[in-house]
Amino acid sequence: MNFSESLLTALDSLQANKLRSALTMLGVIIGVAAVIALLAIGNGVTSSVTDELESIGTNLITVSTNRENSGGYSALSLNDVEALSDPFASNAIENVGAAVNGNQTVAFESNSDTYGVLGVTASHFAINNLTDLTAGDLLYQPDIDSNRRVAVIGSTIATDLFDEAFPVGESIKINGTSYEVVGVLAENGQGFGSNPDESVYIPLSTAQQRLYSDRTRSGERAVSTIYVQAASEELSDQATEDITTILREQHGITYNDEDDFSLISQTDLLATFDVISTTLTLFLGSVAGISLLVGGIGIMNIMLVSVTERTREIGIRKAIGALRRDILLQFLLESLVLSLFGGFIGIALGWLIAIVAGRALDITSVFDASTILLSVGFAAGTGLVFGIYPAWRASSLRPIEALRYE
């Protein structure tokens, strides 16, 4: 019996037991679908977060207070911003900005809600890639120098508070004080740790006077965060070292003392997230692989039952001249066909689950051809590995004993 005849015989056998064949494939279908869906969603999340971090800039370094080492006080002030902005301090630093932030009630006429209100320097927008506007202007240095009560608002706030009105030139109230809206940011979407669309930006000096009174240990008005833009991604490590040196000198930190500030660079975040996502992907793939293993065991069990049920058939075929390899090939092909059919159905199901889940999570699922090929290959391997013993058992039956089987 040649290969094509063995394949047709295997297909006929599986077709004769449609329900059992479908139930046998179920484990493989679930396993492959789980592998495809989980890895596609995981890759989509990884891609989304990576794009978000890279859109801000891989050369961005964020400095904040380490309150465990600062005695509970804010450690950063505008003096630190000025020291870091000194062009002779470091050739690895290109731009420096600062912000104070908190949640405040923002109102326009009868509409009001609570939003994040940030007091920022003029450089904040360029450093954080927030320069696109739908109307008006950004904040500039004269606004900060003169403590003006002006505001740039996010796109969501413009929609929620102003309805059909044109925001620029109108006055909003922040914590009961009026501010003129001078600009509306273009839609940015949820950022990494913040949402510019739901934020209000006012001059840093105005925010420090009217909203946020936090001070450093020495009595200076504090800033919540300092943003430093390195001259390039390659100089990020050098910029980090220079920032640490400058701030330790500014704060009078001795050699043996811990820093009262913390630094986080975008490149560090990307590297950390890459490690986490890789580990998570491997874990999810392993969990899904267990489903394939269970499916393989199911195939073996059903094939063993099939061998028992078809003992007389095997005896007859051997009695009329079928060789041991013919019986072995037929049962191996049955296992392989079950696994491959299950694998292909699993791919389609996994693709559908990933698309639906991606839309629900507002991410784009990313399908990797290597993952699909690996899943199909693993499914085929599962069928072969778990089909070997039943096939060997069937081929080892002696014709006389098989014909006597009831």
Residues 60-97: tens digit of each pLDDT = 888 988 888 888 888 899 999 999 988 888 888 889 99
Predicted structure pTM score: 0.65
Contact at 8 Å (CB) between 125 and 139? yes
Q: Among residues 385, 397, 354, which one has the least CA distance to residue 32?
A: 354
34-51: per-residue pLDDT in tens? 878 878 887 777 777 666
Give domain limits for the chain: 3-52+271-404, 67-259
User: HSE of 188 in the Cβ direction (CA atoms, 13 Å)?
Assistant: 25
Angle between helices 311-319 and 266-309 (to 10 degrees): 70
pLDDT in tens, 95-129: 999 999 999 999 988 888 999 999 999 999 988 88
For residue 235, give the amino acid letter: L
Q: Note the maximum CA span of the chain.
A: 105
Cβ burial of 85 (10 Å; 0-12, 13-18, 19+) is middle
The predicted pLDDT at position 96 comes to: 92
CA atoms within 13 A on the CB side of 257: 17
**What is the rounded distance in angstroms from the CA atom of residue 296 to the CA atom of residue 338?**
10
